[in-house]
Amino acid sequence: MATLHVLFACILALLICSAAAAESYNKKNQVPAVFVFGDSLVDTGNNNYVHTIAKGNFPPYGRDFAGGRATGRFSNAKGVADYIAQVLGVKQLLPPYLDPSLDLQELLTGVCFASAGSGYDPRTPQKMFLSFFFSGFLDVKNAIPMMTQLNMFKEYIKRINASVGPERTQEIISQSAYIIFMGSNDLTNTYPTVDYRYTEESYTDLMISLALDFHKKLYEAGARRIGLVELPPTGCAPAIRSSQGGPRRECSESLNRRIRLFNSKLSLMVDQMNQELPGTKAVKFELYNHFVSLAENPAPYGIEEVKRGCCGTGNIESGVLCVVPGTCAAADKYLFFDSFHPTELAARILTYQTLSPPDLSKLF
């Protein structure tokens, strides 16, 4: 037991040193702002202001946040987007763009445009199919589509231009970091409903085509430092284990196979962006293997449960289903907070591992 305590202390010290090194590195290569686009894995509360059931602005979400406040993050406290802003040395929390209370300073240092339920495929934000444990689906109409997130960014540019003028606006837009974390909903929820029309190969090709179109338009709006985060092994999320993993609740290899296929094509797309878009510094950040490693060897980080979430039974509860009474006593002992989204601890570990200084240096 003493040996385990020493090992945990060493790993914790290593994680703290790694975070300190990343933050020190980014003070030297600091960006003026950070902008995040994506889905619920990085939504910091935009869906609070959208007519949809895909929200995380009620308990037990946010239970470990300052003041025990549910902010719209699908987490017990901070989420991945917050740690992206932190590792880039910009600020501790990344606010949702749709928050009407944002002041100018918050706007100037970056915001989140992500929306839970969104995807590259325009069909994805219209309905999130949860047929793997319901006979029908839950309607989450009005999740913010990817191109609408882009239009929100263009609106953002007009707002700050009116406040600080074109010269400073151009500096902020051209020098800031843009992080995109998108695609899990397409492969998890939409593909199974259209697989009669597409093979895994052709559907991931469609996703890449849509992603490339989005990133070209983002480039045209002024973005140059663009980071694309790999998709995690969503086939190992508790809800997928419950619906597709059999009696032993194993990971869904078919879903993870689709995700690996998309991730491999993402690498080629990043190469294409760097070749075709002058001045672009596009980087793919590896997440998949970091997630697998954490799930397979969680003990050094104090995590004990990787197959169930902290919320409710931990098997299927996410979003509105997370109101089921009874959550775990210590979220830090869990990889997942609900049946799809990581705890704050897991988000912090994975973000610092994914946005490591060697990979971040490629943005500069």
Active site residue 51: no
**Calpha distance 218→220 (Å, rounded):** 5
Pairing state between β 334-336 and 225-229? unpaired
Strand residues in the chain grouped as ranges (E) = 34-38, 177-181, 225-229, 281-285, 305-309, 334-336
From CA 297, how far away is CA 295, in angstroms rounded?
6
d(CA 140, CA 121): 15
5 is catalytic: no
In DSSP terms, 166 is beta-bridged to: none
Q: Which of 250, 245, 107, 265 is nearest to 186 (CA)?
A: 265
- Confirm if 340 and 74 have CB atoms less than 8 A apart: yes
Report whether 227 contacts 287 (CB < 8 A).
Answer: no
DSSP E strands: which ranges in 230-360?
Answer: 281-285, 305-309, 334-336
Nearest to residue 15, comparing CAs of 62, 83, 82, 66?
83
Long-range contacts, stretch 329-335, CB < 8 angstroms, 24+ apart = 331/63, 331/64, 331/76, 332/302, 332/303, 333/302, 333/303, 333/304, 333/305, 334/303, 334/304, 334/305, 334/306, 334/308, 334/309, 334/310, 335/294, 335/295, 335/298, 335/303, 335/305, 335/306
338 counts as catalytic: yes
Q: What is the CA radius of gyration of the chain?
A: 19
Tracing tokens 């007009």 back to the chain, one arrives at: 158
Candidate list 40, 75, 118, 339, residue with the active-site label? 40
Q: Which amino acid is at 183?
A: G
The single-letter code of the amino acid at 13 is A
User: Which residue among the candidates 115, 242, 338, 339 is catalytic per the annotation?
Assistant: 338
Active site residues: 40, 338, 341
